[in-house]
Chain A
Amino acid sequence: MKRFAAAVRLRGARAREIPGFRLAVVCGLLAVTAGAASLLGALELAPGRVLRAIADSSDPMHAVLWDVRLPRVVCGALVGAALSVSGALLQTVVRNPLADPGLLGVTAGAGLGALVLLIFFPDLTRWLPGVAFIGGAVTIVLLLTLAWRPGRAIGPLRIVLSGVAVQAMLFALLSLLTFAYADRAPAFASFLVGSLNGLGWTDALTIAVPTFVGLTLALVYLRPLDVMLLDDVSAGGLGLSVRSARIAISGVAALLAAGAVSVAGLVGFVGLVVPNAVRVWAGPGHALLLPLSAVGGAALVLAADAAARTALRPLELPVGALLALVGGPYFLSLLWRKVA
């Protein structure tokens, strides 16, 4: 038995040496969850039926799949990828595994921007992602200024506490706005926890643009990202302008988070759970970390959403609540490990 286990480990180790093996595994996971997400819902459909209905426009389920389930799957995948990569970038920027767009208040900042636009300038909703981006970026700047001490990495406690403080202020503003303008604010409860309910192709397009721009920029920035993992003096000694790199990468992280917030509200914990899990498996290098986080984040959100839609059928739960249920304990375990 022992020898068998050792042999499995050895083969596992060898398989992991093959480039692309990890990516293939995670992509497989994504395919399965995407499939499951399109099958499951308020109406139950058999796999064969789904394929037929997608192809056949005379099928009564054709419209349900094309107008409800598929855009929702696409949105979910993009939200997951964007938040997960945003988290990975923020973790590198502050050199701390506890960073996450939700925990640091970046999504709340983006949400505040979005809400202000929706309430006061309802005609300008196509600028939603742009305004959300500004809100998220301002929050990052605020946070880094609060937590920064020159020449030192930001300790785990410091970053978490600064995030809590910033987030409390942002949530206060968010609540004040929705109370004062209850008639104009969108479904606030589901916005606060994060939900994919009722998303269509317009929403998919809204998030697709910032997500693809953000992911491309992040992948272009691979090498500086890797250098940023070293302490400031070493990174500077290698010729990286640490300050400008930090600003640029924070901007990309804000853009990704803003895209996700614009369609799905304040979905939390994806950016914390996925990159940290990937790092255990694939190491800290961004060449693997970013693609794996993107695909893994998409898979996680789709799986959570599939569960959210089926757990209390026909009631559709907000996906953010389910993610927080998983993410909270994971966050605690990380905090214990890193602070102790």
Chain B
Amino acid sequence: MNTAVLRADRVCLRHAGADRDSVRDVSLAVHPGEIVALVGPNGSGKSTLLGSLSGEVRPREGRVRLDGADITRIGPRRLALRVARLPQEPVGPEGLTVEALVRQGRYPHVGAFGTAQRRDEVAVREALRAMELGDLRKRPLETLSGGERRRAWLAMVLAQEAEILLLDEPTAALDLRHQWELLEILARINRERGVTLVVSLHDLEQAAALAHRLCILHRGRLYEAGAPASCLSREMLRDVFAVDARVHKEDGRLRVELRGPADPIREM
């Protein structure tokens, strides 16, 4: 049963060599089984915040805790058993087959010197099936289409069987149909496996449809967090995204109707 609570407490994050924090004073709690979407314009700190949640970026100030324990003090392998992370553009070597990639997801379970057990094989097979990659499992990654490749990487982190999955713009560079399929897959992973998802997304309508909660970042600060219907407003779009847009509900889904750039005077 998934009970993991991931919590960022007033974190300030800075990249090596930078003279300014790219995330300032952000607090966020992710509860078991929920989908949180991180949204915000380019450079608002989404990826950096995700990096801190997976322990990759050490907070300059503040703490990230998993069930109350500081994640910088949890060993990397033990953390990987509970929190999985997929970067925006993961890179694998030429010639790596889908199956070999997915098998890498078992690394935190098997360890550096262990041998794969039966349950490792089962997890790999299940991840391949869940991502509908059965027929492609012997194919090298570079021969797949963009959408298939994204599914292969997702299968790898699924095989990791972590309770929390952190995904950095999983729909980027996919065509519309593959974006839609991928969002369906994410919703299904959450529904059927109870996996907690923290996903950064650019498309606000997609974020609103997928997530239980939006977390809106603006210039490294948390602008607002809450249910999509309450966060997605004309004011927020003007303040954060500098656009004039109307938000309305259609067939039970939130729609953002873009009208143009926000009033230049307001933007100043």
Contact = CB atoms under 8 A, between A and B. Distances in A.
B107 A240 contact: yes
Interface size, B (range): 35 or more
Interface of B: 16, 51, 54, 56, 75-81, 84-87, 89-97, 100, 104-105, 107-108, 110-114, 140, 153, 156-157, 160, 166
A226 interface: yes
Nearest to A224: B112
Nearest to B116: A223
Given A227-B107, A229-B96, A283-B96, A237 B84 contact: yes
A221 B78 CA distance: 19
A281 to B, nearest CB: 10
Contacts of B95: 279-280, 283-284
> At the interface, is chain A mostly helix, strand, loop or mixed?
loop
A277 interface: no
Contacts of A229: 92-93, 96
Interface string A216-237: 0000110110110111011011
B80 A239 contact: yes
Query: Closest 9 CB pairs between A and B?
Result: A239-B80, A237-B85, A239-B77, A239-B108, A233-B87, A284-B93, A231-B91, A229-B93, A238-B107
Nearest to B87: A233
B48 to A, nearest CB: 12
Given A223-B112, A231-B90, A234-B153, 6 more contacts: A234-B87, A236-B54, A237-B54, A237-B87, A240-B76, A283-B95
Interface residues of A, number: 25
B56 A238 contact: no
B56 A283 contact: no
A155 to B, nearest CB: 12
12 contacts: A95-B93, A220-B113, A223-B112, A226-B104, A227-B107, A233-B56, A236-B56, A236-B76, A237-B87, A239-B108, A280-B95, A283-B97
Given A237-B84, A237-B157, A239-B77, A153 B104 contact: no
